[in-house]
Structure 1
Amino acid sequence: MLGLAGAGVAIVAALALWLGRGDAKLATPAAAAPPPSGPQFFGQVASNGALGVPDGRAERRRQLLENVQLTEHTYCSYREGSRYPMESRPAAQNPDQLHPNQPVTEMNPMRVEGGGANTAVLLQTSQSRVYLAAGEAAAFSLRAVNAQGDTVPLVITRAVAQGMTYGASRPTAQVALPFADDGGGADPVAGDGAFAGVLAPNQTGLAGFHGTIRTEVRYTAAGRNGFALFDVIYTPVLPAAWTGQVREAVENGSLHFYLRAEVRQPGRYVVSGRVDDARGKPFALATFNDELGVGSREVKLTVFGKLMTDGAPALPLVLRDVDGYLLRENVDPDRLLMPRLEGKVFASRTQGMKGISDAEWDSEERTRYLTEYARDRDAARAQLAAFDPAGPLPPGACPAPRVAPRP
């Protein structure tokens, strides 16, 4: 009995010593998954009699294989995610930015004065926009319903708008907003139980306020007093304005839209435009993020060449719903809004793919990251091949990309 126990201890010690050797740089997951079956393994974990000692060589190979798979996944994921530049992305990757001018609608239990909620009454609210440039207006509406969707009679008792101030800042003036259910103004249908009002800051005492304007609506429904809040962020001055001039060009293998603007305040501008195909299907989100000086300047919105060759959109493409702002760092609010261009802005005359490249995007940063990730992948494969020269290596998931020349 003692001899058998001593032999068992010796086996455990020898295995522990062997497993302790190896490349200290090997990256292994924090939680090891069960070894998958397949020809790439010597076999499942074996046992040594009653002691249940794992087969150290099979475990080692599993770790090396996992490292190959991890480095391969990292390389391929980065390559796939960076084949288009950030300023030209597929529409499917940005569903929340495709329709910036659609109303924001919500339905929540009625909030009652003094705190709490009346869950028997649901309040449907809508506001046409959250950000307001100088000269723009926002429409609000509210309607009460029960759990079955039937309209609950609602009476507006008070509606005022006021700029939100903090600390020692002086309070702004309160502006009364009329809400009506008469089919006029922002209310499309008379007598349907939905009340609507419009906030146009430049026509009120809030014309010079820059920041969040809160509209508070008090009402009664089902015999109880409730309230609703609508917030907008208002810019009282325009840092730049569009001239209406737009041109297109196929350059460096991509399609570009150039929008001219008169810039009044210099700085970093962020501009976004949506691009649809000829059938009206959203295809791309094009953005501009760069410095602009004072004067007449062009803003370039790009539809990257490989995005077009991969997506094969129905041509011509249509640029629509362009918005932008001057970014202000370390202040609140952090932006000065440009006037938005709603709906169709420009229809491209490009009818074919002549001059459009299918090469992936290239930059110094992307090349550097791909080189590092490829080096990690090659090192992991070399470690596995050195450990098990006779064993098969997993096939590479993605080869090196063919990249576009840098402009």
Structure 2
Amino acid sequence: MPTKRSTLAWAAAGIAAAAVLALALWPASGGETTAAGAAAAAPQAAQAAATAPGPGGPAIPPPAGERQERLRLLTEQVRHADHTWCSYAASTVYPLASRPIAEHPDQVHPNRPVVETNPMRFEGGRGTDPKVLVQTSQSRVFMVAGEAAAFSLRAIDPQGAALPVVITSAVARGVTFGASRPAAQVTLQFADDGLGADPAAGDSHFAAVLAPAQTGLAQFNGTIRTEVRYSAAGRTGVVLFDVIYSPEVPATWAGAPREIIEDGSLVYVLKADVRQAGRYIVSGRVDDANGKPFALATFNDVLRAGPGEVRLTVFGKLLHDKAPAMPLVLRDVEGYLLKEDTDPDRALMPRLEGRVVAGKPHAPKSFSDAEWNGEERTRHLAEFAKDVALARKALADFDPSVPQPPSQCAPGAVK
């Protein structure tokens, strides 16, 4: 009578032979036989048979190389799950509404002019001329009713010497799409006379001002594009300036803002007269006593029509950890009503430029060092912790003798 071992051996041989025969006879997609594929598949079939469970017995352990690869994958899964958990825990000790401003370098000075230098761009998209560099600036990108934007243009050679420029036309028009009614066109006067937006006369630096409220674009809502055509170095070029204009004012600021300490955090309270109810996004910059940018505070909530309140919070642990020089200053506050499924997607509030609130020199003990424990963070941490536990269990089930990778979380992190 054959033994169990001999039965397994014959079964393995039979499966391997069947695999070779079937693959040898099966036609390839190109009409050729797959003898090479059969030869490559035979060891795999034999290995599958060799590692299959025997009659009434456990599976035969896989080859050493396959086992090591499985251990490597399970260990990497543990490390990846742990890294995800630890990274999220470390990055969310402060809420999204109160972050170090170093994380948002583009938000530090929102009211500074946008300055660019690019090669001369020919009309009609016919290329550029790197021998003529065009320096442009615009005072702002987003404009609320009653505001104006200043544009400037200057041409230089690669060595920085000014080149003569002649402005041939400058027209501002609202950008419309499809069957939208065409917007009015406004002619701008670019001049180098030292008046208006031009800082100095006769320096080949041309400037103009766009004030939509004083033109036929007063009620246009959306992107206003100013096309400036000019000639320099014997060539003609074009420059585009885009601004996003909001003629409607959904809310205005009302009353003097103030600073309070609430639940271990610093809170700036700003009163608003809300004309249109909806979700408002408001952001303000916070500097330390030395004028160094410190934090970006954001409000993101629904306001009802009527008297409203915008609260910009500097989280207690952020103040506790970074210890900025006191007193702090709130500056450059801007906000808008978020509008869904429409273009443009916002209606702007009047901006508060420069210093808005000069605070008091609060003692460090006034602020809490507790981490943010909002519902969203708690929920995500619980899910990531489950992933870590499952990955560690899978590794332990495969081989309990293998040491578990150490956690990458900082000491004291909550799990």
Structure-2-length-normalised TM-score: 0.82
The equivalent residue for 2:31 is none
Aligned counterpart for 1:83 among listed residues 83, 93, 101: 93
The equivalent residue for 2:200 is 189
The question of whether the paired residues in 2 share the 8 Å contact of 1:360 and 1:401 is answered with: no
Root-mean-square deviation (Å): 2.5
For residues 218-260 of structure 1, give each alpha carbon's deviation from its aligned partner in whole angstroms, at most 9, with x where no partner exists: 2111112222111111111211111241111211221111111
Aligned counterpart for 1:266 among listed residues 277, 280, 284: 277
The question of whether the paired residues in 2 share the 8 Å contact of 1:359 and 1:402 is answered with: no
**Superposed displacement of residue 262, structure 1:** 1.0
CA distance in structure 2 between the aligned counterparts of 1:19 and 1:207, rounded to whole angstroms? 79
The equivalent residue for 2:8 is none
1:355 equivalent to 2:366? Answer yes
CA distance in structure 1 between the aligned counterparts of 2:146 and 2:52, rounded to whole angstroms? 72
For residues 45-86 of structure 1, give each alpha carbon's deviation from its aligned partner in whole angstroms, at most 9, with x where no partner exists: xxxxxxxx7533332322221111011111111112222111
The question of whether the paired residues in 2 share the 8 Å contact of 1:107 and 1:125 is answered with: yes
CA 1:335–1:385: 2 relative to 1, 3 Å: same
**Superposed displacement of residue 143, structure 1:** 0.4
Question: In structure 2, what residue type is equivalent to 1:57?
Answer: R
The question of whether the paired residues in 1 share the 8 Å contact of 2:329 and 2:356 is answered with: yes
CA distance in structure 2 between the aligned counterparts of 1:104 and 1:123, rounded to whole angstroms? 14
1:284 equivalent to 2:295? Answer yes
1:65 equivalent to 2:79? Answer no
The equivalent residue for 2:163 is 152
Question: In structure 2, what residue type is equivalent to 1:103?
Answer: P
Aligned counterpart for 2:132 among listed residues 121, 139, 142: 121
CA distance in structure 2 between the aligned counterparts of 1:151 and 1:60, rounded to whole angstroms? 67
The question of whether the paired residues in 1 share the 8 Å contact of 2:259 and 2:357 is answered with: no
The question of whether the paired residues in 1 share the 8 Å contact of 2:323 and 2:364 is answered with: no
Question: In structure 2, what residue type is equivalent to 1:141?
Answer: S
The question of whether the paired residues in 2 share the 8 Å contact of 1:182 and 1:189 is answered with: yes
CA distance in structure 2 between the aligned counterparts of 1:19 and 1:365, rounded to whole angstroms? 46
Moved more, 267-276 or 219-228: 219-228
For residues 172-212 of structure 1, give each alpha carbon's deviation from its aligned partner in whole angstroms, at most 9, with x where no partner exists: 32222111112221111222211011111111121111111
Question: In structure 2, what residue type is equivalent to 1:307?
Answer: L
CA distance in structure 1 between the aligned counterparts of 2:350 and 2:357, rounded to whole angstroms? 16
CA distance in structure 2 between the aligned counterparts of 1:84 and 1:347, rounded to whole angstroms? 23
Aligned counterpart for 1:298 among listed residues 309, 313, 318: 309
The equivalent residue for 1:225 is 236
Gaps of 5+ in 2: 1-12, 17-41, 54-62
**Superposed displacement of residue 330, structure 1:** 0.8
Question: In structure 1, what residue type is equivalent to 2:163?
Answer: V
What is the number of residues matched between the two proteins?
A: 367
CA 1:20–1:275: 2 relative to 1, 3 Å: farther
**Superposed displacement of residue 354, structure 1:** 2.8
Aligned counterpart for 2:146 among listed residues 135, 148, 152: 135
Question: In structure 1, what residue type is equivalent to 2:109?
Answer: H
CA distance in structure 2 between the aligned counterparts of 1:91 and 1:211, rounded to whole angstroms? 29
CA distance in structure 2 between the aligned counterparts of 1:15 and 1:172, rounded to whole angstroms? 74
The equivalent residue for 1:55 is 65
Aligned counterpart for 2:349 among listed residues 338, 351, 369: 338
**Superposed displacement of residue 272, structure 1:** 0.7
**Superposed displacement of residue 352, structure 1:** 1.5
CA 1:17–1:202: 2 relative to 1, 3 Å: farther
Q: State the structure with more CA Rg.
A: 2
CA distance in structure 2 between the aligned counterparts of 1:309 and 1:131, rounded to whole angstroms? 35
The equivalent residue for 2:113 is 103
Question: In structure 1, what residue type is equivalent to 2:122?
Answer: V
Three-state SS of the structure 2 residue aligned to 1:142 is strand
CA distance in structure 1 between the aligned counterparts of 2:72 and 2:237, rounded to whole angstroms? 63
Which structure features the higher share of helix residues? 2
Moved more, 318-327 or 385-394: 385-394
Gaps of 5+ in 1: 1-5, 22-52
Three-state SS of the structure 1 residue aligned to 2:256 is strand
The equivalent residue for 2:6 is none
What percent of counterpart residues are identical?
62
Question: In structure 1, what residue type is equivalent to 2:142?
Answer: Y
CA distance in structure 1 between the aligned counterparts of 2:139 and 2:376, rounded to whole angstroms? 40
**Superposed displacement of residue 322, structure 1:** 0.5
Moved more, 386-395 or 171-180: 386-395
**Superposed displacement of residue 384, structure 1:** 2.8
The question of whether the paired residues in 2 share the 8 Å contact of 1:181 and 1:189 is answered with: yes
Moved more, 107-116 or 185-194: 107-116
The question of whether the paired residues in 1 share the 8 Å contact of 2:257 and 2:269 is answered with: yes
Three-state SS of the structure 2 residue aligned to 1:126 is strand
Aligned counterpart for 1:175 among listed residues 181, 186, 207: 186
Question: In structure 2, what residue type is equivalent to 1:83?
Answer: V
The question of whether the paired residues in 1 share the 8 Å contact of 2:135 and 2:154 is answered with: yes
Three-state SS of the structure 1 residue aligned to 2:364 is coil
Moved more, 85-94 or 106-115: 106-115
The question of whether the paired residues in 2 share the 8 Å contact of 1:19 and 1:56 is answered with: no
**Superposed displacement of residue 350, structure 1:** 4.2
CA distance in structure 1 between the aligned counterparts of 2:105 and 2:187, rounded to whole angstroms? 36
The question of whether the paired residues in 2 share the 8 Å contact of 1:322 and 1:340 is answered with: yes
CA distance in structure 2 between the aligned counterparts of 1:283 and 1:396, rounded to whole angstroms? 31
For residues 262-321 of structure 1, give each alpha carbon's deviation from its aligned partner in whole angstroms, at most 9, with x where no partner exists: 111111111011111111111111111111112221100011111112222112211111
The equivalent residue for 1:3 is none
